[in-house]
Amino acid sequence: SSETLLCSARASVLLYDDSQKQWVPAGGGSAQSPPSCVQLFHHPPANSFRLVGRRMQPDQQARGHPWVVLNCPLARGLRYSQ
C-alpha cells in the first residue's frame, strides 16, 4: 500500500445512531467494550487521509485477528466534535 501511518491512539469508537438518537459503540458491544487502536493514514499521491479503528475481541486475541470497527475517509469540510 502507498499509505503512510501518521499516528496511532487508543480510543473508544462511537457512531451516532439516528434511530436511537444516541452514540453507540462501533462494531456492536457495550459501553464497557475494550478501546480500539485508531490509526490515521495518509495517501500522498491522492493527498487523502483515512481513519481505521481496530478492536481485538477476547476470542480473537489469541489468533491475532483485529475486528475493524471504523474505516473512514476524511473529506475536506468534515465537521469534528469533541
Dihedral, CA of residue 19, residue 21, residue 27 and residue 30, to nearest 10: -120
Tens of pLDDT, residue by residue over 5-50, are 999 999 888 888 899 999 888 877 666 777 889 999 999 999 999 9
Q: What does pTM read for this prediction? A: 0.75
DSSP 11-66: E--EEEETTTTEEEETTS--TTPPPEEEEEEEETTTTEEEEEEEE--HHHHTTT-P
Domains of the chain: 4-74 (2.30.29.30)
Non-local (6+) Cβ contacts of 44 within 8 A are 2, 4
